[in-house]
């Protein structure tokens, strides 16, 4: 800048001394233009040579320009290197992951995937980018769940590369119309789970026959009028009681095993819930009478369910017997079956019983989880009733809700989706 000003002033001075103002100004402008051209060429050469060469030497304005450009270039390079390192680390990390990860763009097209996605989903780096994920995972369960259950607990499908492998799949929505598909091989877990189920089912089944024999003998002893057996009678009664308990336990375990076999086809039929409940109440009337428990019914006779009658009978019966079991003498049990605002319907069993402390409510549907083990056993409970209820409801797309206040009572309600519910005039 100083050079430009100095040259122009010199031109003006020489112009006024010599009287050739225009000529001198022209010469000084020519000098400035040449000077600029010289450094522009230097800049161009330097930029063409690349960032590894030091910037050209210059003073004044051009020196400042070279210095700033050089600084920017260096920091841009450092940022690029850092980014490349980060991408490298990210790629290393994702390829070490045992889970398949696929980044999906608009219309669920494949944008990126990791190493495990090649092995579990059969994707190929070069050819499959940009294609829709549904071209590769064609299982109907995947297509049905893929969009509807984004981000939720996931769903299981057979692996596209091998039908014998099971994949747990999660679909997680991201910003900018992107989403992430994660798939985990859960075959081993499923095998172990199956082994556990088979073991419980086999043990329960094997115990059934010897127990039937033992119960037969105990019954014979109870019925025998032999005076020699009289003093043994209290023990025989206790044996009868305990073998009944064991029988109930085995039956509940077998029922749970059956419910867990997902392959089993549910026999869906039209169920008149009001009639089913009346049948259940009749069956438990003697028990309720023994405790002077009043039973109130409010049953919508025109609302029906689509489902498996035997399974629903077990579930509702468990809720009803629990209500009797955990309600003290002179209590009230109210059973309500009615439609809900969302088009579904709910069956509620409300008792004036002992209630459940809040911290236990989340766990009472676990197998053998009891608030008070002694009390449950004394009352003939197996600890499996609510686990059965939960399984049955799961298989009917229904939810169990529990509200309870200690020493006031409990409300167990089964909420059925509108798809399972219909009334007299529909279907
Ligand atoms: P159990 O055979 O012991 O009744 P369940 O699975 O049916 O097993 O119930 C689990 C536990 O939940 C019970 O042991 C009891 O502590 C509690 N429970 C279930 N129903 C009721 C109820 N209506 N009132 C109070 N507690 C209940």
The DSSP code sequence of 146-208 is HHHTTTSS-EEEEETTEEEEEEEEEEEE-STT-EEEEEEE-HHHHHHHHHHHHHHHHHHHHHH
Calculate helix-pair angle for 385-395, 233-260, nearest 10 degrees. 20
Q: Is domain 269-423 classified as CATH 3.30.530.20?
A: no
322 CA to centre of own chain: 30
Comparing 29-38, 270-279, 402-411, which segment has the lowest mean pLDDT? 29-38
Ligand 1 binding pocket mutation candidate from 250, 256, 315, 356 (most atoms within 8 A of CB): 356
Quick one: pLDDT at residue 263? Answer: 56
CB atoms within 10 A of CB 348: 18
Segments making up each domain of the chain, as ranges: 2-91, 97-185, 189-261, 269-423
Mean pLDDT computed over 353-382: 89
At 114-140, the pLDDT tens digits run 889 998 988 887 778 888 888 888 888
Q: Whole-angstrom Cα distance, residue 84 to residue 321? A: 66
Between residues 228 and 422, the one the model is more confident about: 422
> Is the pLDDT score of 275 beyond 90?
yes
In this structure, what are the phi and psi dihedrals at residue 212, rounded to the nearest 5 degrees? Answer: -60, -40
Residues with a CB atom less than 6 Å from ligand 1: 318, 322-323, 326, 351, 353-356, 364, 369-372, 376, 381-387, 410
DSSP label of 419: G
Structure tokens at 314: 């077990």
- Do 188 and 169 meet the contact criterion of CB atoms below 8 Å apart? no
Q: Helix (H, G, I), strand (E, B), or coil: what is residue 299?
A: strand
Residues in the chain: 427
Structure tokens at 112: 């990126």
Ligand 1 binding pocket mutation candidate from 248, 253, 322, 372 (most atoms within 8 A of CB): 322
Q: Whose CA is nearest to atom 14 of ligand 1?
A: 370
Q: How far is the CA of 322 from the centre of ligand 1 (A)?
A: 6
Q: Whole-angstrom Cα distance, residue 21 to residue 11? A: 8
> Is the pLDDT score of 96 beyond 70?
yes
- Do 343 and 416 meet the contact criterion of CB atoms below 8 Å apart? no
> Is the pLDDT score of 3 beyond 80?
no
Between residues 197 and 151, the one the model is more confident about: 197
What contacts 266, CB < 8 A, 6 or more positions away? 307, 308, 311, 395
Ligand 1 binding pocket mutation candidate from 376, 407, 413 (most atoms within 8 A of CB): 376
- State the average pLDDT for the chain: 88
The angle at the Cα of 30, spanning 24 to 33, to the nearest 5 degrees, equals 145
> Is the pLDDT score of 369 beyond 70?
yes
Quick one: pLDDT at residue 262? Answer: 62
Q: pLDDT class for 291, splitting at 50, 70, 90?
A: very high
> Is the pLDDT score of 254 beyond 80?
yes
- Do 381 and 325 meet the contact criterion of CB atoms below 8 Å apart? yes
Q: Whose CA is nearest to atom 8 of ligand 1?
A: 383
| DSSP-assigned beta bridge partners for residue 413 | 348, 401
Q: Give the atom of ligand 1 at the shortest distance from the alpha carbon of 367.
A: 6
Q: pLDDT class for 337, splitting at 50, 70, 90?
A: very high
Q: Give the atom of ligand 1 at the shortest distance from the alpha carbon of 412.
A: 23
What contacts 106, CB < 8 A, 6 or more positions away? 177, 178
> Is the pLDDT score of 264 beyond 60?
no
State the alpha helices, DSSP H only, in 291-357: 309-325
What is the percent of the chain where pLDDT is above 90?
Answer: 46
Ligand 1 binding pocket mutation candidate from 326, 332, 387, 393 (most atoms within 8 A of CB): 326
Quick one: pLDDT at residue 81? Answer: 92
Q: Whole-angstrom Cα distance, residue 288 to residue 107? A: 60
Mean pLDDT computed over 190-215: 91
Q: Whole-angstrom Cα distance, residue 365 to residue 294? A: 26
Q: Whole-angstrom Cα distance, residue 182 to residue 184? A: 7
Q: How far is the CA of 305 from the centre of ligand 1 (A)?
A: 25
What contacts 297, CB < 8 A, 6 or more positions away? 277, 278, 281, 334, 335
Quick one: pLDDT at residue 1? Answer: 65
Q: How far is the CA of 118 from the centre of ligand 1 (A)?
A: 48
Q: Whole-angstrom Cα distance, residue 46 to residue 353? A: 90
Going along 316-392, which residue ranges are E strands? 332-339, 345-351
Between residues 367 and 263, the one the model is more confident about: 367
The angle at the Cα of 381, spanning 256 to 326, to the nearest 5 degrees, equals 125
Quick one: pLDDT at residue 324? Answer: 96
Record: fold of 97-185? Beta-Lactamase (3.30.450)
Comparing 186-200, 289-303, 346-360, which segment has the lowest mean pLDDT? 186-200
What contacts 375, CB < 8 A, 6 or more positions away? 326
Q: How far is the CA of 30 from the centre of ligand 1 (A)?
A: 102
Q: Whose CA is nearest to atom 12 of ligand 1?
A: 364
Mean pLDDT computed over 106-113: 88
Which run of H or E residues covers position 307? strand 303-307
Record: fold of 189-261? Helix Hairpins (1.10.287)
Q: Helix (H, G, I), strand (E, B), or coil: what is residue 394?
A: helix
Q: How far is the CA of 370 from the centre of ligand 1 (A)?
A: 6
Most confident listed range (192-196, 255-259, 353-357): 353-357
Quick one: pLDDT at residue 225? Answer: 75
Comparing 14-28, 268-282, 382-396, which segment has the lowest mean pLDDT? 14-28
Mean pLDDT computed over 244-270: 83
Quick one: pLDDT at residue 149? Answer: 57
Quick one: pLDDT at residue 294? Answer: 96
């Amino acid at each position: 800048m100083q050079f430009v000003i100095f040259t122009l002033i010199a031109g003006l001075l020489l112009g006024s001394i010599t009287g050739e103002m225009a000529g001198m100004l022209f010469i000084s402008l020519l000098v400035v233009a040449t000077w600029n051209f010289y450094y522009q060429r230097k800049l161009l050469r330097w930029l063409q040579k690349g960032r590894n060469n030091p910037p050209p030497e210059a003073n004044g304005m051009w020196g400042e320009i070279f210095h700033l450009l050089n600084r920017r270039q260096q920091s841009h390079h450092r940022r690029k290197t850092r980014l490349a390192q980060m991408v490298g680390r990210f790629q290393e990390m994702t390829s070490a992951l045992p889970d398949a990860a696929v980044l999906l763009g608009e219309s669920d097209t494949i944008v990126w995937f990791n190493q495990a996605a090649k092995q579990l989903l059969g994707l190929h780096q070069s050819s499959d980018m940009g294609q829709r994920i549904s071209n590769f995972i064609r299982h109907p369960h995947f297509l049905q769940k893929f969009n509807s259950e984004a981000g939720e607990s996931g769903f299981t499908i057979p692996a596209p590369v091998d039908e014998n492998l099971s994949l747990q799949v999660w679909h997680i929505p991201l910003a900018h119309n992107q989403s992430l598909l994660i798939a985990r091989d859960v075959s081993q877990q499923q095998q172990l789970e199956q082994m556990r189920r088979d073991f419980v089912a086999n043990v329960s089944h094997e115990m059934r026959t010897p127990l039937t024999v033992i119960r037969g003998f105990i019954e014979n002893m109870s019925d025998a009028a032999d005076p020699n057996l009289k003093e043994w009678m209290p023990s025989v009664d206790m044996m009868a009681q305990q073998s009944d308990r064991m029988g109930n336990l085995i039956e509940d375990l077998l029922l749970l095993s059956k419910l867990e076999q997902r392959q089993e086809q549910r026999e869906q039929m039209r169920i008149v819930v009001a009639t089913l409940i009346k049948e259940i109440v009749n069956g438990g009337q003697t028990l309720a009478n023994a405790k002077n428990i009043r039973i109130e019914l409010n049953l919508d006779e025109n609302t029906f369910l689509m489902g498996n009658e035997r399974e629903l009978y077990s579930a509702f019966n468990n809720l009803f017997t629990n209500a009797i079991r955990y309600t003290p003498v002179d209590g009230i049990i109210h059973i309500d079956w009615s439609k809900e605002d969302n088009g579904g319907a709910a069956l509620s069993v409300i008792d004036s019983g002992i209630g459940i402390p809040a911290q236990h409510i989340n766990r009472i549907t676990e197998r053998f989880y009891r608030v008070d083990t002694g009390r449950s056993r004394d009352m003939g409970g197996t600890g499996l009733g609510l686990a059965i209820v939960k399984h049955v409801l799961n298989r009917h797309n229904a939810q169990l809700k529990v509200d309870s206040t200690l020493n006031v009572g409990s409300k167990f309600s089964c909420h059925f989706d509108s798809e399972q519910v219909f009334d007299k005039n529909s279907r």
